[in-house]
Structure 1
């Protein structure tokens, strides 16, 4: 045993002791029995219904075979027959039983057994054989090396911190000759027990070195099937995760596409709002600004025939500039007082006479009216032809 195993042994012993003292083993035993009982009998037989125990007893000079839990003798033969004949009789009694499930127990009579009741500490559950050897001198007239013994836990009331157990022993001079005879006959047994009605008591006095070694192909198959089931479950979980990831990736792609479409819609909405704002601005500007055509028409109607314009300007602030020549420029301010398009018109700079034409050169500055603010208060002072 390695040092690592030795260091872990106390921990393993504590875990094993805690497991055995817990109600879980009894629960799982009950649960497994209930599940097995729910299965049809054919399935139980096909997949292994557990060990099939046969009880081998020596009655005088005759051997008898019974099935555990059932009445009646399956086979019997005399011990003075040839070993081959006894083997045939024994094999005929076990015919039809799966070799993997077959278990044979040599059952002794109660008179040949020695039984003692014990109350042992809870901590002794994992070392019953050692406790049995220790208690042998105290409970029986034999020493441990003179008997074959076993200790089993039994149901019963016990003091606090202890559990009920039973020591079962048989002298070696009684059991060993029977084991030697069975080896001569070629009959392999799995346990040495005591007959208890139609069944066995539940102990095993067979020495460990004489225990039969059986192959367990079904157990290996069940182990392989269990491993395959675990692998399949793992693969199913991985497939489930893969499907979830694929669905998530697909949903993410759809969300990204929808997000792009939403951004396009938001961009179109913003563009529509901008266009609507620009259109509203133009509409508002058109509603609250005098058009250049109206201004030109009004100025043309109001200028006298002996005056003309050299330049007409209008900026974004609504300021209007009139530059030209007239015979009497001072009267032009009065001409535009009633203008529906221009207000607050005044001269800017000085009035000078043009030496070429002999007329006065003027420059008038005014402010455009908003539509509806100013209305014509009469006909133009000097109506004339359109220029």
Structure 2
């Protein structure tokens, strides 16, 4: 629905603008115009901003290099066009309105049905002269120039490395109000342009496909360029994860070993702490041996944690308190029971003391 509305709106705007466009000055494109003359001569003129300036012509005897140099000296950057003085062939046809969007392609396919020529044998242009909405048809004017008319000239220019853009021919039928031209570079003022190269539908399809392929390739390249750092980072992360997975058993083994070592250290620490709390029996015996005099012997020794209880005989038990207090590991020695006189003449004692780890 929307395309039909846009087409109708465009036609209405063209109908309204047609009278105004007729009042505009000549807006033909700038170009170098080559006009075939008698005996192979070429007339040269330059159109700039609608004004045509006549230049010296080119002789028929000029070879390709001379022809190229002569045109290069006279030409700026405008395209080269061939201006014909003979009238083109013109054909009016009515066509279904449905072909208007692809009219150039339709005429290329149906040229031999609409005219006595094949599309490959002519240069052609077309313009829509009117629209019959009731019949859903368009009135089309086809302007034809057989290629044999300009074949020799085009071959001569091709040898000189010159590629004309279009043919300028005298206008055919007058365009009524509301007529629309679809030619490339169609000038006003009694002349029309016929492009020398119509886009071949197959070639156009291939070009469109090539363009889309190029755009897709460019987009893919851009995406690849943007994604390359992410891909590299992902690959590096994958390698790191693989290395981590490979080292995980070793790490687990080392962790278990570390836990065992920590448990062993904790156990040895607890043992050492218990030993320190309970005292060291051999060290205590050595200290007692050094502290007690020779006339003293023990009948009982009890060590419970840090409490040491000694029982024995001595000739003078009272001096044992001072002797034990002078030791390194025994503190606060005292009698735990009264000293008794033995039948043999000695004294029986019970002494308690605190053991320092």
Query: TM-score band (shorter)?
Result: 0.3 to 0.5
- TM-score (normalised: structure 1): 0.38
Q: Write 1 or 2 for the structure with the bigger share of strand.
A: 2
Q: TM-score, normalised by structure 2?
A: 0.40
